[in-house]
Amino acid sequence: MDGPSPPQPPLPAPFTHTHPAPTLLTQGAEALLYCTYFLTPSHPCALKYRPSKPYRNPILDKRLTRHRILSEARTLVKCRREGVSVPGVLALDAEGDGVSGGWMMMEWVEGKTVREVLVAGAKRRKEGRDDEDGWEEGVTALMGKIGRAVGRMHEVGVVHGDLTTSNIMLGPLAAPQQNGVTTNGEHMEQVGEGLGGEIVLIDFGLAGQSLQDEDKAVDLYVLERAFGSTHPEAEEGFQEVLKVYEESYKGAKVVLKRLEDVRMRGRKRSLLG
Amino acid sequence: MAALQTLHLAHLPPDLAVHVALYTDVRNASFLRDQLLQGNPDFEYALVDASVILSTTHALAAVFRAANDHLKGRLKSRNVHSEIVFSLGANNNIAQSLRTFGITPTTTNLLAIKLSTDPSITSSTISEHLSASIQGIQVEFNDAKLAGLNNIAKIRKLYKLGGVGEEGSKGKRRRKDGTVESSGLVDGTAAKDAERERRELEVAILGLMALRGAV
C-alpha cells in the first residue's frame, strides 16, 4: 500500500452513521476491506465494500456487484456449513441503492496471514536471531495444516480461485475468539511469534463451486507459485502441503496427477482471458 | 419484573431506536395475532415466536436487515415490523416466514420488537401499550433467557441445519480430531462444546438469513 493512494469512495449508508468510523485495512481492484463491528461494538467484523465503478454502465454495474457479492457469500456460507474454516457471513446488502455499490459483513478473523508469518520468520533467521529451535518443524506442521484446510475445501466442491499465502490466515494459538481485538484496525503484536493456531481461508471473491480436477489443481498450482516466489526458503515445505492434501480426501490423488500437467503448461488451459 | 429494553444497533441512525420486550406464559396470543391480521395500526410490532430464536444476535440481525431495507425504501412486506419477521427467514417467501417465525395462536413465549420510526413512538408509549395488551410475564431479553425458551432442534429443522456444529446428515464423518459424534443430541459434552456448537449454529443462520434464498 505505498504511493499516493487513490481517493476512496465514501462508505454508503448505513455506515455513514458508524462511530467510530470503519478503518480501511486493504484495498483491491474490486473491493475495499474495512474493520468495523456488527450489531454492538463488542462484536468485531470485517466489512467488504464493493463500490460502484463510475466507468461501467450503471445497469451492468449493479448486476455485476450483486452477482459478485452473492457469489462470494454463497461460497462462504456453504464452506462454513460444511465445516471448512472460513469467516462466516453476518449480513450483506447486494443491492446497494443504485449509486453506491454493495457490501458484505463477515466474522472477524484473528491472527496474521501466512505470508506475514513466513516473511517475519525468514527475516529473523537472516538476522541470525533464529534461536528458536523448532521453527522448521513449525513450518512443516503449518504446511500440513494448510494442506488439510485446502483439501477439506476441495472436498466440499469449492475452489478458491486466488489461493495465495496472503489469503490464508493463521490464528493465534489458544483461540478464544472475540478477545483482544483492536477495533481501530491496528495490527496487534502477538506475544510469542507462534506458528500454532488455526488456519482460516479468506477472500473468496474469485471462488466458485467446481467439481473439476483441473480447477482444484490450478488452486494448488497458484499456491505453489506463491510459495516459490515469496517464500523460497519454504518452497520445499510445500511438499508437506501436497502430502497432507493427498490424504485429506478421496479425489485428491487425481487432482495431484492433474497438478503435474498444470505445472507443465501453466494455469491457463483454455488460453482465454 | 423486567422492563422494555431500548437498544441502539451499530450503524443505524441514532434516532432509530429498537425497543424489545420478551414475554413468557403469554395467554392471549390469538388475540394479538388477530390484531396483526386485521392490520390494527396500534399493534404494529414484530411479534416473534421466541421459541425459534436462538440468541439476541439472531433476532437483532433480522432487525438490522429490516431497518436497512426500510431506510433504503425497499421493504418487501407491509411495514418494517413485518419485514423483521420476514428477515428471520432463509427464503424469499413472506407468508411462510411470517407463519414460521411470527406469533401463532399457541405461542406462549413471545418477543415483541418495535422501531422508533416516528418521534412519537417512544419507550414509554410502547411500554404502556404493551403492558396493557400482552397478558404474560415479562422477562429480560438476553441470551440466557432465550436459551431457556427456545427449541434448538426446531430451529435446526427450520433452517435445515441438521448437522452444523455437531455433524450428522449428509455432512457425514469429519470431526477433525476423529471422534465420531452420533448425529442428533449429544448433550453430555462439555459446556465449551455446547458453546462452540451454538456459535456455529448462529453464524450458519446469519449467513442463510443474509442470503435469503439466493443460495
Per-residue pLDDT tens, chain A, 273 aa: give them: 455 566 677 899 899 989 889 999 999 889 999 999 999 999 999 999 999 998 999 999 999 999 999 999 999 999 999 999 999 999 999 987 667 899 999 999 999 999 999 988 888 888 876 656 678 888 899 999 999 999 999 999 999 999 999 999 999 875 444 444 444 444 444 434 578 889 999 999 999 998 899 999 999 999 999 988 888 877 778 999 999 999 999 999 999 999 999 999 887 766 555
CATH tag for B5-148 (out of 3.30.2380.10, 3.40.50.300, 3.10.20.90, 3.30.70.260)? 3.30.2380.10
Asked whether residue B68 carries a pLDDT value surpassing 60, the answer given is yes
Q: Which fold has domain A23-107?
A: Phosphorylase Kinase; domain 1 (3.30.200)
A-B interface: how many C-beta pairs under 8 angstroms? Answer: 94
Query: A39, B57: Cβ pair inside 8 Å?
Result: yes
Mean pLDDT calculated for residue range B95-122: 96
Q: What is the pLDDT of residue B195?
A: 87
- B41 preceded by cis ω (within 30°)? no
CATH tag for A112-265 (out of 1.10.510.10, 3.40.640.10, 2.40.30.10, 1.20.1440.230)? 1.10.510.10
Cα(B21)–Cα(B23) distance, rounded to whole angstroms? 7
Which residues fall within 8 angstroms of residue B153, CB to CB, at 6 or more apart?
Answer: B185
Q: Which of B13, B61, B210 sits opposite A17 (nearest CB)?
A: B13
Residue B12 Cα, gap to closest chain A Cα (Å): 6
User: Where would I find the beta strands (DSSP E) of A155-198?
Assistant: 158-159, 168-170
Query: A70, B214: Cβ pair inside 8 Å?
Result: yes
Q: What is the pLDDT of residue A114?
A: 94
**CA-angle at B57, arms to A158 and B115, nearest 5°:** 125
**Bridge pairing between strands A89-93 and A102-107:** antiparallel
- Start and end residues for every CATH 3.30.2380.10 domain found in chain B: 5-148
Please report, for chain A, the start and end positions of each structural domain, with discontinuous segments joined by +: 23-107, 112-265
Mean pLDDT calculated for residue range B47-74: 96
Instruction: For residue B166, name the pLDDT band (cuts at 50, 70, 90).
Output: low
CA distances to A145, A219, B61, B89 from A151, in Å: 10, 11, 32, 32
Cell of B97: 416466514
Q: What is the pLDDT of residue B215?
A: 66
Residue-averaged pLDDT of chain B: 89
Cα(A83)–Cα(A95) distance, rounded to whole angstroms? 29
